[in-house]
């Protein structure tokens, strides 16, 4: 009996061994086949590898294309989705901690996209404006105007057309509600061509017209909105400002005090009412002084208590009339002008040093455009030129070129990113947390970089391709190099707006990585076709590129179409 049991156990053991050997052989064969397939697959160093951002946060269709695949244009979003500005769906999470594909934007290329606090807007490839937010699906609010850029405030949406016309819409408006309002001549613009436009979009918006006529062929080419003011730049380099509400000049950010609006007491007449918005530092210079030092007399009328109707005009800034500008940028409560010669002028709120006038300037309000000195602590033989200015909230980034002579080797140039303002979240990028930084300080990891150029057989500087500063304190920077365009982020991260899956801020620019540990590279390509926001094919064989935008505690990388 014992011998029979031993023989039976031996046979069972031999059968199980053969099964294990067969399973092991199958696994090895499958591994060889997979390895052979991967070995022959070439991964370009200027494109994202397969399975990028593949995690539980990525919304993918079964057996569908992966994010940033060659067959699909994917829009990536992350950060706060509390107002459903990233994923307009009631079942979406309030916080998206890792880059996630917005499936409703698959194969869509946009002209512009802006994320605000309570809502978001986008301009599709046809130039139509769409808006969405909490409990509101994406819907068209401005159609048939060929819009190229949008800017958002709490109460207004501003849109710039390709022909240089600025439109203003109520942030709560919809195209459907505007269609029910009767058309009147008073709604129409002063421009003769507006009489022949589609009436369904005339009542949905107002044209913001220049108070002084533009020259022949001159038009607005860019707009930039702060919290309460709007700046507009023309094709001839002229600077204009528009008061959005009665707080538009509390810190002198308009660049002027007096302007006029239509007289609402007599709508039929052409009378104008003059308004003066006096900055608080002028109306009440002792506001922050001790009560024992304050004057007994009552201060002038507070600008925030002045009420005036909606202003449909944009006014030229008097002190900048004879200065040709290449860029005009609005921070939260400040303004910046970049001249064609590479100088920077700033004015407005400065309590965090965001204008960059230096640590010795302790004024919290600058009412007159003042030059920002960007060559402090630099040798006398170095030439400094500002290439770009980016601002948001209480933070400002200056992209500066330093050029000098070293012996007889010829000119040597370096590119630096200087940051000033509120750095309590690490937004200055210098590995420190400083509340007030009046002297623009160099950001690490993105300044004084160089690479070898095969064409010129020499070193060349690495410059930022674009910088986006959020109103809440984080920065997205695209660094351009021969390998591609790296995406770096730093600053506030309470809502995972830096896209690294964490909620702790970064005080130094850090390269974003994919799920596989590869660098997050933004791409350029020629798309066979792109869709509009109605899901219809709009363009064929067009050049597009990925663009990073920092919004209110949120971030997005979308495909931007070349116009």
* pLDDT tens, position by position, 437-488: 999 999 999 999 999 888 888 888 999 999 999 999 999 999 998 888 999 9
Quick one: pLDDT at residue 488?
A: 97
CB of 390 within 8 A of CB of 467? yes
DSSP code per residue over 128-166: -EEEEETTEEEEEEE-SS-EEEEEE-SSEEEEEETTS-E
Q: What is the 3-state secondary structure (H, E, C) of 47-70?
A: CCCCCCCCCCCCCCCCCCCCCCCC
pLDDT band at 282 (very low <50, low <70, confident <90, very high): confident
CB of 235 within 8 A of CB of 219? yes
What does the mean pLDDT of the chain come to? 81
- Output the pTM of the full model: 0.81
pLDDT band at 333 (very low <50, low <70, confident <90, very high): very high
Domain extents for the chain? 219-373, 376-522
Q: What percent of the chain has pLDDT over 90?
A: 62
* pLDDT tens, position by position, 136-193: 899 999 999 999 999 999 999 999 999 999 999 998 876 544 333 333 323 333 333 3
Which residue would you say has higher pLDDT here, 376 or 559?
A: 559
Mean pLDDT of all residues in 402-431: 81
* pLDDT tens, position by position, 198-249: 434 434 689 999 998 999 999 999 999 999 999 999 999 999 999 999 999 9
Helix-, strand-, coil-residue percentages of the chain, each rounded to 5: 10, 40, 45
Gap between the Cα atoms of 406 and 57, Å rounded:
52
Quick one: pLDDT at residue 295?
A: 61
Quick one: pLDDT at residue 290?
A: 65
Gap between the Cα atoms of 507 and 487, Å rounded:
16
CATH number of 376-522: 2.130.10.30
Q: How many CB atoms lie within 10 A of CB 127?
A: 21
pLDDT band at 328 (very low <50, low <70, confident <90, very high): very high
pLDDT band at 54 (very low <50, low <70, confident <90, very high): very low
* pLDDT tens, position by position, 61-100: 333 334 455 678 999 999 999 999 999 987 889 999 999 9
């Amino acid at each position: 009996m014992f011998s029979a049991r031993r023989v039976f156990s031996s046979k069972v053991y031999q059968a199980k061994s053969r099964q294990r050997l067969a399973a092991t052989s199958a696994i090895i064969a499958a591994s060889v086949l997979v390895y052979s397939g991967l070995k022959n697959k070439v991964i370009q160093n200027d494109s994202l590898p397969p399975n990028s951002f593949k995690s539980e946060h990525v919304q993918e269709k079964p057996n569908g294309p992966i994010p940033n695949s060659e067959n699909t244009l994917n829009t990536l979003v992350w950060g706060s989705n509390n107002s459903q500005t990233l994923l307009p769906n009631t079942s979406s999470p309030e916080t998206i901690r890792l880059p996630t594909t917005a499936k409703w934007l698959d194969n869509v290329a946009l002209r512009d996209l802006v994320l605000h606090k309570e809502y978001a807007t986008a301009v599709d490839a046809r130039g139509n404006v769409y808006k969405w937010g909490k409990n509101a699906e994406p819907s068209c609010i401005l159609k048939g105007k060929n819009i190229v850029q949008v800017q958002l405030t709490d109460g207004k949406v501003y849109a710039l057309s390709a022909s240089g016309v600025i439109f203003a819409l109520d942030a709560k408006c919809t195209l459907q509600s505007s269609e029910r309002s009767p058309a009147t001549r008073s709604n129409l613009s002063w421009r003769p061509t507006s009489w022949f436009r589609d009436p369904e979009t005339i009542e949905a918006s107002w044209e913001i017209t220049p108070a002084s006529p533009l020259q022949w062929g001159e038009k607005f080419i860019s707009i930039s909105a702060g919290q309460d003011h709007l700046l507009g730049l023309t094709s001839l380099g002229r600077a204009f400002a528009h008061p959005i509400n009665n707080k538009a000049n509390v810190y002198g950010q308009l660049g002027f005090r007096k302007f006029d609006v239509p007289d609402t007491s007599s709508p039929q007449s052409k009378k104008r009412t003059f308004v003066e918005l006096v900055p608080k530092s002028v109306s009440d210079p002792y506001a922050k002084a001790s009560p024992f030092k304050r004057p007994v007399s009552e201060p002038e009328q507070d600008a925030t208590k002045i009420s005036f109707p909606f202003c449909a005009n944009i006014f030229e800034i008097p002190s900048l009339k004879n200065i040709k500008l290449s860029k005009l940028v609005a921070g939260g409560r400040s303004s910046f002008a970049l001249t064609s010669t590479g100088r920077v002028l700033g004015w407005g709120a400065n309590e965090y040093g965001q204008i960059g006038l230096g640590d010795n300037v302790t004024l919290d309000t600058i009412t007159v455009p003042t030059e920002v000195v960007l060559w402090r602590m630099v040798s006398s033989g170095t030439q400094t030129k500002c290439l770009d200015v980016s601002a948001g909230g209480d933070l400002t980034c200056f992209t500066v070129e330093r050029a000098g002579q070293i012996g007889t080797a010829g000119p040597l140039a370096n590119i630096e990113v200087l940051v000033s303002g509120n750095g309590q979240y690490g937004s200055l990028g210098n590995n420190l947390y400083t509340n007030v930084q009046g002297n623009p300080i160099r950001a690490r990891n993105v300044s004084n970089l160089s690479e070898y150029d095969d064409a010129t057989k020499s070193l060349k500087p690495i410059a930022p391709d674009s910088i986006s500063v959020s109103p809440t304190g984080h920065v997205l920077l695209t660094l351009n190099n021969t390998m591609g365009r790296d995406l770096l982020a730093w600053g506030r991260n309470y809502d995972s707006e830096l896209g690294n899956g964490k909620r702790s801020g970064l005080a130094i620019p850090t390269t974003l990585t994919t799920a596989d540990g590869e660098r997050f590279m933004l791409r350029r390509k020629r798309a066979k076709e792109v869709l509009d926001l109605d899901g219809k094919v709009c363009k064929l064989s067009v050049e597009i590129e990925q663009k990073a935008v920092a919004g209110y505690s949120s971030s997005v990388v979308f495909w931007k179409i070349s116009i």
